[in-house]
Structures are given as structure tokens and as C-alpha cells.
Amino acid sequence: MITTIGRLAVVSSELCWEVAPPIVLLTVSYGIGLACWERLRPAIRHAWLTALLILWCWACWILPAHLAAGYAWLVVPLAVLALRMFGEYRAVAVVALITAALVVCLVRVGSGLRLDLLAPPVAAVWTTVGLYRMQQRLVGELRAAHGEPARQQREAGRLAERARIARDLHDAVAQELAGNRMLLQAADRDWDRRPEAARRQVRVVSEALGASLAETRSIIDDLTPPTLERAGLVAAVRELCSRNHDGAPQIVFATRGEPGEPATDRATALLRVVQGLLANAVEHAGATNIWITLDHRREVITVEVRDDGVGFDSVAASAAGRGFGLAAVRERLAAFGGGCVVHSALGQGTRVLATLPTGA
């Protein structure tokens, strides 16, 4: 376009005034269309390409033979537009029509079929088609390669979520059901000899099942435990420890440091840890007393769960791969950069120390 306007300013011949309008319109329309590409509807894009082709044919038709051959090369960017605008088969059909128009133009320019005029621009058009297709194929392969890590990441997230739900079900539901089963068995033994005690145990089980139902609904809805959401971590742990049923160990809860409320996900993790450790102590330790201490520090919250039960050989248990509860506790804490240490020996009780950064 710049060359055409320059020649128009210098020569100002009749031919220049005939050639300048279609060339200027072609260039300006091409630039505006590219700038507004994303905002153009498909029908408008098709009309725009048709207008560009008409302007190109007009310019090539009115130019003298020695000038038309040069302007014929403008067909290459128009072919690229067709490739970008249409699907695979329609794009090839449109490029074939553009090639036919190019051939007609060059036959007129050369006053016949001249391969030296036809071959270079036609080869350029179809080489462009081949390169464009190759580029699209490479882009598709790159997207597929990029999508594979994303798929693996989603799969890892799905597995991690399944593990989290398994831990929640183990800590909040399975352990509660196991404890309630023990109470019902005790109530069955006492039903004839101590009917009032048996009824109290049944009532306790009923209340505990109501709490377990709320916890289960909380897990299903992916919400925080009701008490934790309502009153905070200390209140939730205190309520958990207050469930002191007939025949269960005596549970003593204490706090140290300045109570501060960690983030909800961390507070939920700590509550689940206490719940799991307490359930293990009640069900397996055979303890008379259980002491739970929640120690708030500036950057770390520590939970100590200690009992005077039968204890166990922690090394042997770890080697045997037993203890889903402790493994779940470690996984839950590790997700937030925490950890736990277990001290136990046969006949000497168990002490578990769990730490979790506050995330402040």
C-alpha cells in the first residue's frame, strides 16, 4: 500500500488512480479484520474474506501484465486466512478456489499458460497449506503433552481426596461405631442384672449416634465439624473429651499457652487427629485414664494424648504394617507440614505427640 501511494504521489497517472483504491481498501480491510478478529462472528469473517478476495481480483485484473504478477503474491496471506477461518476440508476447498482465481489471473497476465509465472505462487500457496497443517498438528501434540501432567495432577488430587475421606470416615464414624458397639454389648450383659445402667448406656449410645450422624453429614457436605465451626477448636476438643460413658476411661483435657484459632482446615485436621487418637486409646489401650493436652504456641500447636493402658511394641507394629489409625494421623498432619511421635512400650501406656504449624 505504501508503494502504491508513493507512486500515486510521484507519478499521479490515470493507472495509479485506478490501482490505488483497491490496494488501499485491501490493506486497510485486512488490518482492521485482523485487529477485530476475536470480536467478529463467523458470518462476518466469511463476508470479510470474500470482500478481500474481490478486492484482490479487482486489483490484479486492472493492472498491466508486468505489474499484476507481483500483486498476485498477495494471495498467500489470503490463503492463510482461509486456513484459519474454515475447518480442514472446507479450508482446502476455499484454497483450491483461490488457486483457481490465481491461475486465471496469471494466465491473463502471461497471455497463456506459462509455468514460470504459475509455479512459484501456486507452490507458495500450497506449501503454506502444508506448513500450516504441520503447525496445527504440532500445536495439538503440545497441548496433549501439556494435558497429560494436568491429568496426572487431577488423578493425584482425586486419590488424595479419597485418602482424606477414608481418614475422616475412620476417625469420625468407624471409631465411634466401634465404641458404641462396645457400649451396646455392655448394656446387653447388664440388661437383666443392672437394668438402669443398661438403659443409661443405650441412651448414651443414642446420643453418640446422633453426633456421629452430624459428623457423617459434615463429611458428605465437606463442611467442618459442627462444634468446631460454631465454637472453635478448644471447645470442639473439650466436647469430644466430655463424652465419658459408663465403663470408659476417665478423660482429662487441659490447654496450655494462649489459645489461638488456626485456619479452619488445620483446626479440622487437629480435631480429627485428637478424635482418632482418643478412639484408639479407648478401644485398644485398656486404659483407666487418658490425658489430652492442647498446647498453643506462636507458630505450632501441639496435641499430646497419653494413657496408662497396656501399651504396645511400636517398632513391631510398624514393621507388621498395622495401625491404620496412626498412619491416617501421620498423613493428615503431613498434609499441613506437621508430624507425630509415638512413645509406647508393653505395660507402660502410650504417649502420642502431634504437632501442626498454625500457618500464621
pLDDT for the residue 266: 84
Total number of residues shown for the chain: 360
Q: Backbone phi, then psi, for 277, in 5-degree steps? A: -65, -40
Give me the pLDDT at residue 319, please: 45
The yes-or-no verdict on residue 317 having pLDDT over 80 is no
Average pLDDT score, the chain:
76
Return the closest-CA partner of residue 237 out of 193, 273, 197, 210.
273
DSSP 112: S
List the single range of 38-42, 56-60, 143-147, 228-232 with lowest mean pLDDT: 143-147
Neighbours of 335 (CB within 10 A): 16
DSSP string computed for 203-235: HHHHHHHHHHHHHHHHHHTT---HHHHHH-HHH
pLDDT confidence of 292, banded at 50, 70, 90? Answer: very high
Copy the grid coordinates of residue 335: 498434609
- How far is 155 from 160, CA to CA, in rounded Å? 9
pLDDT for position 304: 92
* DSSP of 22-40: HHHHHHHHHHHHHHTGGG-
Question: What confidence tier does 322 reach under pLDDT thresholds 50, 70, 90?
Answer: very low
- Alpha carbons 164 and 171: distance in angstroms, whole number: 11
Secondary structure element (H or E) that encloses residue 352, with its range: strand 350-357
The dotted CATH code for 151-357 is 3.30.565.10
**C-alpha cell recorded at residue 59:** 486489483
Kindly report the backbone phi and psi dihedral angles of residue 157, in degrees, each rounded to the nearest multiple of 5, phi listed first.
Answer: -65, -40
Ordered by start, the domain boundaries in the chain are 2-113, 151-357
CA distances from 170 to 164, 175, 277 (A): 10, 6, 11
pTM over 0.75: no
